[in-house]
Amino acid sequence: MSETVLEIFPAGSPRGSWDAEEFAAEQQQRGVAATVVMDLDTDSFLVRVSDADS
């Protein structure tokens, strides 16, 4: 199963993961099963969906 990254948020932002969490919540309200994961290699929060869910 693969995934699609909808948006990338830098982990070093003053709000931390809040921006990513808010974006994922907006997507979930639209019926998209978005989740937030931390990408340690790029030091970023990724909002992603499984391709099986889209």
pLDDT at position 54: 47
Amino acid 4: pLDDT = 96
pLDDT tens, 2-54?
899 999 999 998 898 999 999 999 999 999 999 999 999 999 999 999 887 54
Q: Order of strands across the sheet with 35-39?
A: 3-10, 44-50, 35-39
Phi, psi of 18 (to 5 degrees): -55, -45
User: What is the Cα–Cα distance from 54 to 51, expressed in whole angstroms?
Assistant: 5
What is the rounded end-to-end Cα distance, in angstroms, of the chain? 12
**The predicted structure's pLDDT at residue 28:** 97
- The pLDDT assigned to 7 comes to 97
pLDDT value, residue 8: 97
Instruction: Note the pLDDT of residue 51.
Output: 81
